[in-house]
Amino acid sequence: MLEIKNLHVSIEEKKIIKGLDLSINKGEVHALMGPNGSGKSTLSYVLSGKDKYEINDGTIDYNGKNLLELDVDERANEGLFLAFQYPMEIPGVQTSFFLKTAINSKRKYLGQSEMDALEFAKLMKSKAEELNISTEMLKRDLNVNYSGGEKKKQEILQMSMLSPKMAILDETDSGLDIDALRIVSEGVNKLRNSENSFLVITHYQRLLNYIKPDFVHIIADGKIVKSGDYSLALELEEKGYEEISQTA
């Protein structure tokens, strides 16, 4: 699915990612943990194609394609999804209209016709219900005056409607209350299958109780310093980054 080799990234001359390797296969869930400022969000932006980042070295292969050559929207329409750490507000644009536009952009890219209005309404309703999002919410402007947790849920709604191949969740758990955390995790688990993959960025082992990862990676100063299975997350909880990084 995704193969990152020797990635070096800088922004405004400042080196942020310094030789990162990561390989994610179909059907796998990878967790990425690491201290503040270690480069997790930067990695998610580079994968989704945000400009201003300079790729100094390395390659990224995405399903046999050179990911770095694709535009942001091409990557998205090829099934790459980023649930933002800080989702954007778009004033004047109804949430439901935004969802419809996103779905139809993808369908257009894939050479399919627009989704029928009724079919769309049904899909949105059922997905929103699963995530406990009210229809009132969907009539409001996208993310405008949403609470922090509501924004995160909205990201997961978009994800489940677009059913991506490769989803990156950047600290989706931060800001969610206990019930929402469970609901969102269930949403993710429901989407999980042998054909898609997840990269879950988090600071908390708690999320990984709900979304069981196949692999856990620890990133520090722009490099993956340790990889392991689920038990690495437990070990990290106990010892903290400092000690784990030293034993790497």
Partner 1 sequence: MAATEQTIKQVNTLGSSDYKYGFSTDVDEIRPPKGLNEEIIKFISAQKDEPEWMLEWRLNAFKVFNKLPKPQWAKLNIPEIDYQDCYYYSIPKSLKDKPKSLDEIDPEILKTYEKLGIPLKEQKMLSGIAVDAVFDSVSVATTYKKQLSDLGIVFCSISEAVKTHPELVKKYLGSVIPVSDHSFAALNSAVFTDGSFIYIPEGVRCPVELSTYFRINAMNTGQFERTLIIADKDSYVSYLEGCTAPMRDENQLHAANVELVALDNAEIKYSTVQNWYPGDKEGKGGIYNFVTKRGACRGKNSKISWTQVETGSAITWKYPSCILQGDHSKGEFYSVAITNNMQQADTGTKMIHIGKNTSSKIISKGISAGKANNTYRGLVNILSKAKNARNFTQCDSLLIGNQCGAHTVPYIESSNSDSMVEHEATTSKINEDQLFYCQQRGLNSEDAVGLIVNGFCKEVLQHLPMEFAVEAQKLVAISLEGSVG
SS3 of 67, please? Answer: helix
123 binds partner 1 (CB under 8 A): no
**Residue 101 binding target from partner 1, Mg ion, ligand ATP, none, CB below 5 to 8 Å by type:** partner 1
Q: Based on CB atoms, which residue is closest to partner 1, 49 or 213?
A: 49
Least distance between Mg ion and beta carbon 124 (Å): 29
Q: Choosing among partner 1, Mg ion, ligand ATP, none, which partner's interface includes residue 70 (Cβ < 5 to 8 Å by kind)?
A: none
Residue (41 or 96) nearer to Mg ion, CB: 41
- Quick one: which of 9, 28, 34, 41 contacts Mg ion (CB under 5 A)? 41
Taking the complex as a whole, the smallest distance from the CB of residue 8 to ligand ATP amounts, in Å, to 13
Q: Report residue 164 as tokens.
A: 């991506």
- For the chain, state the CA radius of gyration: 18
- What residues pair up with 2 in beta bridges, in sequence order? 24, 62
What residues line the site for ligand ATP (CB under 6 A)? 11-12, 14, 16, 34, 36-42, 85
CA–CA gap between residue 173 and residue 188 (Å, rounded): 12
Smallest gap from Cβ 39 to ligand ATP, in A, equals: 4
**CA-to-CA distance for 109 and 83, rounded, in angstroms?**
21
Nearer to partner 1, 102 or 131 (CB): 102
Near partner 1 by CB under 8 A: residue from 36, 88, 118, 231: 88
Residue 45 CB, shortest distance to Mg ion, in Å, is 9
Task: Give the C-alpha separation, 121 to 86, whole Å.
Answer: 27
The gap from C-alpha 49 to its chain's centroid, in whole angstroms, comes to 13
* Residue 39 interaction partner, one of ligand ATP, partner 1, Mg ion, none, beta carbon < 5-8 Å per kind: ligand ATP
CB 32 within 8 A of CB 219: yes
CA 86 → CA 54, 144, 171, 224, 248, distances in Å?
A: 22, 13, 9, 23, 31
The contact mask relative to partner 1 for 47-86 (x = CB under 8 A, - = no) is: -xxx--------------------xxx--xx---xx-x--
Counting other chains too, the contacts that 145-150 makes at CB distance below 8 Å and 24 or more residues apart are 146/89, 148/175, 149/175, 149/176, 149/177, 149/180
Q: Which residues bind partner 1 (CB under 8 A)?
A: 48-50, 71-73, 76-77, 81-82, 84, 87-93, 98, 101-102, 105-106, 109, 141, 158, 162
